[in-house]
A and B are shown apart, each in its own frame.
Chain A
Amino acid sequence: DAKTTQPPSMDCAEGRAANLPCNHSTISGNEYVYWYRQIHSQGPQYIIHGLKNNETNEMASLIITEDRKSSTLILPHATLRDTAVYYCIVRVGLRRGGNKLTFGTGTQLKVEL
């Protein structure tokens, strides 16, 4: 499985952009990068995913380096409600079909006033 490495914690001021890095140096050419977040005691919430190109949706932007060995999730204007654990995940195929998303320990983002 392609592993991901994230900093354990980050702080961000409310209203500023939060840039969350992720390293996935062993990623294969056909593996997608997914980002989820988990607010305390809730199920993880999908944010965004990408393969090669940068992606943007209503929640965030995903910047993937040209060699695909790392990516950055950008929350353009962080709010207090964005305080959560953010997981960077590489999709892996399963033996009997489907796909497995392996969640590491993620980055605890704390947004402060």
Chain B
Amino acid sequence: SQTIHQWPATLVQPVGSPLSLECTVEGTSNPNLYWYRQAAGRGLQLLFYSVGIGQISSEVPQNLSASRPQDRQFILSSKKLLLSDSGFYLCAWRRTGSSEKLFFGSGTQLSVL
């Protein structure tokens, strides 16, 4: 069966510090991978998606970047965090086919102080 791992669960970082959030998927190959962010009381905003190794598309301009160094690894990064980067970050993967469901990780609660 397929599983998605996302860590850490919570993170408190000072403004201006770097960020690296990692997501890995097991049990599938060549998944489509996604990073979403959810601000407090808001819906989920798609940040990045990837259809393959080294292929990253950004949905909104921001202070963050993403990379996909391996087929089942998706990394969200920042060189210098802003207060506005605080939020709940979710990694997700999609299985292609007729049932194109998104499977989400457990999320990372990031607080930038």
Contact = CB atoms under 8 A, between A and B. Distances in A.
B43 A99 contact: no
A100 B104 contact: no
Interface residues of B, number: 27
A98 B41 CA distance: 27
B88 interface: yes
Nearest to B109: A41
Contact of A106 (B43, B49, B57, B104): B43
Nearest to A46: B101
B101 A97 contact: no
Contact of A41 (B44, B49, B88): B88
B51 A96 contact: yes
Given A43-B104, A49-B101, A94 B49 contact: yes
Interface in B17-67: 32, 36, 41-46, 49, 51, 55, 57, 59
Interface of B is mostly: strand
Nearest to A44: B104
Given A41-B107, A96-B57, A103 B36 contact: yes
Interface residues of A, number: 25
Contact of A87 (B43, B55, B109): B43
B94 A98 contact: yes
Interface in B70-113: 88, 90, 92, 94, 99-107, 109
A105 B43 contact: yes
A15 B11 CA distance: 39
Contacts of B100: 32, 91, 99
Given A32-B100, A44-B90, A103-B36, 6 more contacts: A41-B107, A43-B90, A96-B51, A100-B46, A100-B49, A101-B102
Interface of A: 32, 34, 36, 41-46, 49, 87, 91, 94-106
